[in-house]
Copies of this chain bind each other. A is one copy, B any other.
């Protein structure tokens, strides 16, 4: 099944934005990777910004959705969640895509801000749902799932940032362990 050009473009743009940042990314390089020409991209996206927004709206949002939907299926969702969070450095080699794009774009462009806020809300809801299931299964005691989700995300994002400065897997795991114990 062949992916259409639009999708290939979003794939490649995601990689490039993820590594180089939105502003640091180069349209020509993205095009080269996909193997198409300028005009072809501008047929689907009227500007670099549109492409950037599409990447956030479709790819980043979807990545989060898929990642945490799997966790929700587990019969031990809370511990599965932390397994997944602990393994993040393996997949998120350039940091958290949502955090990274937010740090860069939220203060610069209002459309990015709105969109990334909405992606974050999805993220928060996904984690809150996992907590809800964990509570109903008796895996963890009751808590305010929304606030707890927020704290978990905050600590996780920060720990990931520290990991990328430190490159110390143990320190990263330590922080997540402390976090995990807090609610069980």
Q: Does A108 contact B (CB under 8 A)?
A: yes
- Set of chain B residues within 8 Å of A20, measured between Cβ atoms: 23, 108
- Set of chain B residues within 8 Å of A93, measured between Cβ atoms: 107
With contacts A104-B103, A107-B94 taken as known, whether A151 is within 8 angstroms of B179 at the C-beta atoms is yes
- Set of chain B residues within 8 Å of A153, measured between Cβ atoms: 158, 162
> Which secondary structure dominates where chain A touches chain B?
helix
- Set of chain B residues within 8 Å of A24, measured between Cβ atoms: 23, 104, 108
In contact, A103 and B161 (Cβ under 8 angstroms):
yes
In contact, A154 and B150 (Cβ under 8 angstroms):
no
Please tell me the number of chain A residues within 8 Å of chain B, measured between CB atoms: 41
Q: Does A68 contact B (CB under 8 A)?
A: no
Q: Does A99 contact B (CB under 8 A)?
A: yes
In contact, A154 and B166 (Cβ under 8 angstroms):
no
Least CB distance from A114 to B in Å reads 10
Least CB distance from A97 to B in Å reads 10
In contact, A161 and B157 (Cβ under 8 angstroms):
yes
Q: Within residues 86 to 106 of chain A, which ones have a CB less than 8 A from any CB in chain B?
A: 93-95, 99-100, 102-104, 106
In contact, B150 and A162 (Cβ under 8 angstroms):
yes
- In the assembled complex, the Cα of A94 lies from the Cα of B19 at a distance in Å of 21
Q: Does A74 contact B (CB under 8 A)?
A: no
Q: Within residues 47 to 97 of chain A, which ones have a CB less than 8 A from any CB in chain B?
A: 93-95
- Set of chain B residues within 8 Å of A157, measured between Cβ atoms: 154, 157-158, 161-162
In contact, B164 and A102 (Cβ under 8 angstroms):
yes
Known: A23-B23, A117-B166, A182-B182. 11 other contacts (CB 8 A): A95-B106, A99-B103, A100-B104, A103-B104, A104-B104, A113-B165, A150-B162, A150-B174, A151-B178, A154-B159, A157-B158
